[in-house]
Amino acid sequence: MLSMVAAFGGLDWALLGVILLLLFFLIFLSLAEMGLSRMTKPKAAAMAEGGVKQGRALHQLVGEPEKWVNPLLLSVNVCQTIQATLTGVVASRAFGAPGVVIGVALNVIVFFVLAEAVPKTYALLYPERAALSTARGIKILVSFPPLRMVSGWLISLTNVIVKGKGLEQGPFVSEQELLGIVEAAMNDDVIEEEERDLIESIIEFGDTVAREVMVPLPDMVTVPQTYTLTQAIDVAIEHGFSRLPILNDDDDVVGITFIKDLIRQERNGHGSEIVTAHMRGVTVIPENKPVNRLMREMQEQKFHLAVVADEYGSIAGLITLEDCLEELVGEIVE
């Protein structure tokens, strides 16, 4: 083996030098990839405002991940490919035919441990150190025009192969990943527990439909269409509601009565009139309607209550603006 190494020429030593440089560069990229991905925008902003060295560069990178993720991954892939090729060439020149096996073993053992496992484990344990120590170098790297151009071209090629949204807007964060970021921010005292709960409620709010929030028909407080104004007011006072649905004999909602309307009429001496004479129209929505869309319609059309119908058109329940808000901020007690 010593004779083989002694037979190395200048080119062989130059290739070994390149392989060593690639090893250190891959260690740097691994640190940056894991460290930057573990940083949150609030923490990076706090470092930048606090004057931490490289904090401003870190804040810029964390604030725009689409500008560095793809160029960084491309750099890692290119360096790994070149290093594996050069290692195979040098090993085959040093050891002959068995050199290919030796080269593969070196790649798996040396480069996996030194360029992947060690730096990424360190970045997991000390994400702030890893991110800060690599921020300026990564900012310079990803601003290199040829790298950005090649990375953008490869993403465009991906969008042609994979139909649909593709990667036109860069990397995407799933809902579970976003919830994980919020949890990590709370554990690091970046946000309070109450803020965490509100953020999680907002994230989950987009998946909530009216059926999950509504008051079911058996639990609804209603007024029969045969009731007088005085009787309807008594029901409202007993249960503490300002709006009540009016049901006919088939348990269908025919309208909504506003108690303020009934009190005004009763004080004018019309308490014995039938409640249907002073009812208002009712909005009916399907039970699978997203609650966030319903809230937007309530704001735009200025109504606070809607009747929920099932797939067969039968009344399934009732939903109010308060029910929607409680999904975000918790129970509201008047």
pLDDT 10s digits, 96-125: 767 777 777 777 777 788 888 888 898 888
Note whether 53 and 162 are same-domain residues: yes
Does 127 score more than 50 pLDDT? yes
Share the mean pLDDT of the chain. 81
Note whether 45 and 159 are same-domain residues: yes
Note whether 14 and 160 are same-domain residues: yes
* Amino acid letter, 192: E
What local confidence, expressed as pLDDT, does residue 167 receive?
Answer: 47
Q: Which of 14-18, 50-54, 55-59 has the lowest mean pLDDT?
A: 50-54
Note whether 226 and 137 are same-domain residues: no
Note whether 9 and 140 are same-domain residues: yes
What local confidence, expressed as pLDDT, does residue 319 receive?
Answer: 92
What tokens were used for 94? 């040093």
Res. 177 pLDDT band, cuts 50 70 90: low
Res. 173 pLDDT band, cuts 50 70 90: low
Note whether 155 and 247 are same-domain residues: no
CATH code of the domain in which 271 resides: 3.10.580.10
Tell me the average pLDDT across 174-199: 70
Note whether 49 and 188 are same-domain residues: no
Is residue 178 assigned to a domain? Answer: yes
What tokens were used for 326? 């409680």
Q: Which of 13-27, 32-46, 129-143, 255-269 has the lowest mean pLDDT?
A: 32-46
Is residue 301 assigned to a domain? Answer: yes
Is residue 61 assigned to a domain? Answer: yes
What tokens were used for 303? 């109504």
d(CA 91, CA 84): 10
What local confidence, expressed as pLDDT, does residue 286 receive?
Answer: 92
Of 205, 220, 251, which residue constitutes the final position of a domain?
Answer: 205
pTM over 0.75: no
Res. 81 pLDDT band, cuts 50 70 90: confident
Note whether 167 and 192 are same-domain residues: no
Note whether 162 and 179 are same-domain residues: no
Helix (H), strand (E) counts: the chain: 17, 7
What local confidence, expressed as pLDDT, does residue 274 receive?
Answer: 92
Does 36 score more than 70 pLDDT? yes
132 neighbors 58 (Cβ within 8 angstroms): yes
Per the structure, the complete domain to which residue 263 belongs is given by 210-329
Res. 56 pLDDT band, cuts 50 70 90: confident
What local confidence, expressed as pLDDT, does residue 333 receive?
Answer: 59
* Amino acid letter, 204: E
**pLDDT tens digits for 238-291?**
988 888 999 988 888 889 999 998 999 999 888 899 998 888 888 899 999 988
CB count within 10 Å of CB 122 equals 17
Question: CB under 8 Å to 189, separation ≥6 — which residues?
Answer: none
Note whether 301 and 237 are same-domain residues: yes
Determine whether 327 is exposed, middle or buried from the number of CB atoms within 10 Å of its CB (0-12, 13-18, 19+): middle
Tell me the average pLDDT across 119-143: 88
Note whether 159 and 11 are same-domain residues: yes
Which of 276-285's residues contact partners 24+ apart within 8 Å by CB, and which partners? 276/225, 276/246, 278/229, 279/246, 279/254, 279/255, 280/255, 280/256, 281/255, 281/256, 282/245, 282/253, 282/254, 282/255, 282/256, 282/306, 282/307, 283/307, 284/253, 284/308, 284/309, 285/210, 285/309, 285/319
Of 171, 194, 228, which residue constitutes the final position of a domain?
Answer: 171
What 3-state DSSP class applies to 127? Answer: helix
Q: Work out how many domains the chain is built from and give that number.
A: 3
Is residue 334 assigned to a domain? Answer: no
Note whether 200 and 85 are same-domain residues: no
Is residue 126 assigned to a domain? Answer: yes
